[in-house]
Amino acid sequence: MSTDQQRPWGRLGGEEESGSVKKARRQRGFWKELPILIGIALLLALLIKTFLVQAFSIPSDSMQDTLQRGDRVLVDKLTPWFGSEPQRGEVVVFHDPGGWLDETPAPEPNAVQQVLSFIGLMPSAEEKDLIKRVIAVGGDTVECHGTGPVKVNGKALKEDSYLFPGNTPCGDKPFGPVKVPKGSIWVMGDHRQRSQDSRYHTNLKGNGTVETKQVVGRAFTIAWPINRWSWLPVPDTFDQPGLDKAVAAAPAALGLAGAVPIAVWRHRSGARQTTEDTASPASPARGSGLDARDDEL
Provide the annotated active-site residues: 62, 132
Question: N- to C-terminal Cα distance for the chain?
Answer: 126
Distances (CA, A) of 46 to 21, 92, 203: 38, 21, 38
Q: What is the CA angle 99-110-220, rounded to 5?
A: 55
What's the rounded Cα separation, in Å, for the pair 97 and 213?
10
What's the rounded Cα separation, in Å, for the pair 224 and 91?
17
Q: What share of the chain is helix, strand, coil (3-state, %, to 5)?
A: 40, 20, 40
Cis check: omega of the bond before 177, within 30 degrees of 0: yes
Show the DSSP H helices in the chain as ranges.
3-51, 111-118, 245-278, 289-296
Bridge partners of 137, per DSSP, are 185
